[in-house]
Amino acid sequence: MDTAKPLAGKVSMVTGASRGIGFAVAQALARLGSDVAICARDAERLAAAGRELERQGVRVFTARVDVRRAADVNSFVETAQKTLGEIDIAVNNAGVGVFVPGHQATEEQWNTVLDTNLKSVFLVCRAVAPSMIRRKTGHIINVASLAGKNAFAGGALYCASKWGLLGFTQSLAEDLRSYGIRVSAVCPGTVATEFSPHAGKDPSKMLQPEDVAHAVETIVTQAPQSFISEILLRPTQKP
């Protein structure tokens, strides 16, 4: 194995990868030598992200996908595997935030947040697991949040989705570890992205997308006899 390209010959997929954390993660995986399948809903940004990743010298597959829909997810995974090969690393990054008092949220807002942040992870894991089980290898990494551990006013929907995601991740890890599949969560604090407004905060003191990508890189390059089940990621200074 080329130590400079430890993921050479591997295939990774990243959801919500046209910008921000997802794109940074996809770049890190490509830099390590992995071919990469990425999806997002913004076709123009997705195409630009794909072109940038190809400059790393790896094969890239892109698809416009609504990760809340089983048919979209299944088609994406199936086509990606036909194009690049069976998926070794799946990173569930797609997410949205709606920040309102829980008692004032609409059913539509609830469904949007929970379906994007939690249901989509279930759909992706269900789609990639059979191949990983058959080969007895694989990484599933779910980008959660410190909001999955700490409640805050206006965060009822978002916190519910991330607390649920951590519970799902931990249980799935137990379901799959006997097959050699490692399921992990990365829980960052506030990251300087377009995801949500950060009024009054200093972006230079926030976590950067590359910090989250580094955590993913750490997980996928660890020794085979163990796995990092969870990483909590905070900035050194409060923004």
The angle at the Cα of 160, spanning 199 to 192, to the nearest 5 degrees, equals 30
**pLDDT confidence bin for 196, thresholds 50/70/90:** low
Domain residue extents for the chain: 11-233
The angle at the Cα of 191, spanning 123 to 46, to the nearest 5 degrees, equals 55
Mean pLDDT of 136-155: 97
For 141, 194, 238, the CA distances from 157, given in Å and listed in that order, are 22, 19, 24
Tell me if residue 131 falls in helix, strand or coil.
Answer: helix
Using the predicted structure, report yes or no on whether residue 34 has a pLDDT greater than 80.
yes
pLDDT of residue 199: 64
Q: Which amino acid is at 110?
A: W
Question: Which residue is listed with tokens 């195409």?
Answer: 47
Other Cβ atoms less than 10 A from the Cβ of 140: the count is: 24
| Mean residue pLDDT across the chain | 95
**Range of lowest pLDDT (9-23, 98-112, 186-200):** 186-200
7 Cα distance to chain centroid: 17
Using the predicted structure, report yes or no on whether residue 237 has a pLDDT greater than 90.
no
Beta strands in 43-174 (DSSP E): 60-64, 89-92, 138-143
The DSSP code sequence of 196-233 is S--TT--GGGSB-HHHHHHHHHHHHTS-TT----EEEE
CB-based contact 105:98 (threshold 8 Å) = yes
**Which residue among the candidates 61, 158, 163, 168 is catalytic per the annotation?**
158
The architecture of the domain spanning 11-233 is: 3-Layer(aba) Sandwich (3.40)
pLDDT tens, residue by residue, 157-182: 999 999 999 999 999 999 999 999 99
Identify the CA nearest to 63 among candidates 49, 43, 81, 82.
43
pLDDT of residue 238: 81
- Give yes or no: 179 in active site: no
Q: What is the pTM of this model?
A: 0.95
The DSSP code sequence of 21-79 is HHHHHHHHHHHTT-EEEEEES-HHHHHHHHHHHHTTTS-EEEEE--TT-HHHHHHHHHH
**pLDDT confidence bin for 203, thresholds 50/70/90:** confident
d(C-alpha 33, C-alpha 21), whole Å: 19
Using the predicted structure, report yes or no on whether residue 195 has a pLDDT greater than 70.
no
